[in-house]
């Protein structure tokens, strides 16, 4: 029932930066999702082979597209809860090698009903879901999550793209979770001294990484706009999923 409910909501998701689900169901006691075929590589694969920190424009455009895909997801309403480079696919489109497709809504949570009221959690309270380097403080504490939890993760990814490291790194998973909850993210200049980041860009990322979700951006749309303001492109070259923020 849970799989069918979440798959049905995810299949309604229509956005250029979100992988489209064509069908879902069960056959021979096996659950399945039929999704669009992607040709390209994951963001993780890109990060593993690059020898330098990603250029600012490319990094911010990737992060903005992830946020824009979340605009549509949160409208459905879905929280992804496990955004990470492995779940971000880069394909070539419109002359760009950084067109984003966000996928794997397999653990996504339906978080509001049709009347806009919160839906009872589909997971056991206290259960940790996510990937530790990319988990929000509330996820680390096993608390209920909302759309702003996804925005924290976008902040983690943007930080990683611009420094080559996630804000918190530790081989001890329990300590890593505590760092998300308690520690401020290191200044980006201290992590990547050879690649200074403009203070206005770092301020956006730090707001997304706020421990208190009330201090983060209020919506994925607000975060996407903030990121795009730092990389103002011409609308003729803007990727389809982002044109709505700038007009025709």
β 78-79/109-110 pair status = antiparallel
Selected catalytic residue, list 28, 68, 82, 171: 82
> Is residue 171 annotated as a catalytic residue, yes or no?
no
Contacts 24+ apart (CB under 8 A), 92-100: 92/40, 93/239, 94/237, 94/239, 94/240, 95/237, 96/237, 96/239, 98/58, 98/61, 98/62, 98/65, 99/17, 99/65, 99/239, 100/17, 100/62, 100/65, 100/66, 100/69, 100/241
Return the active site residues.
82
């Amino acid at each position: 029932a849970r799989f069918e409910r979440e798959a049905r909501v995810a299949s309604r998701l229509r956005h250029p930066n979100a992988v489209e689900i064509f069908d879902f169901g069960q056959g021979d006691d096996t659950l399945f999702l039929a999704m669009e075929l992607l040709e390209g590589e994951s963001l993780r694969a890109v990060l593993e082979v690059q020898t330098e920190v990603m250029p600012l424009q490319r990094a911010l455009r990737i992060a903005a597209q992830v946020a824009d895909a979340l605009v549509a997801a949160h409208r459905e309403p879905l929280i992804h809860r496990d955004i990470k480079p492995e779940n971000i696919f880069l394909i070539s489109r419109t002359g760009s090698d950084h067109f984003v497709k966000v996928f794997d809504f397999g653990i996504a949570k339906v978080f509001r009903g049709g009347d806009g009221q919160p839906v009872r959690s589909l997971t056991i309270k206290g259960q940790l879901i996510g990937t530790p380097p990319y988990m929000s403080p509330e996820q680390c504490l096993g608390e209920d999550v909302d759309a702003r939890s996804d925005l924290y993760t976008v902040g983690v990814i943007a930080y990683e793209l611009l420094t080559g490291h996630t804000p918190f790194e530790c081989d001890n998973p329990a300590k890593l979770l505590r760092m998300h909850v308690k520690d401020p993210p290191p200044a980006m200049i201290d992590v990547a001294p050879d690649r200074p980041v403009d203070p206005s860009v770092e301020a956006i990322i730090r707001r997304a990484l706020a421990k208190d979700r009330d201090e983060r951006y209020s919506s994925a749309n607000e975060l996407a706009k903030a990121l795009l303001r730092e990389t103002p492109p011409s609308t003729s070259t803007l990727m389809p999923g982002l044109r709505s923020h700038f007009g025709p």
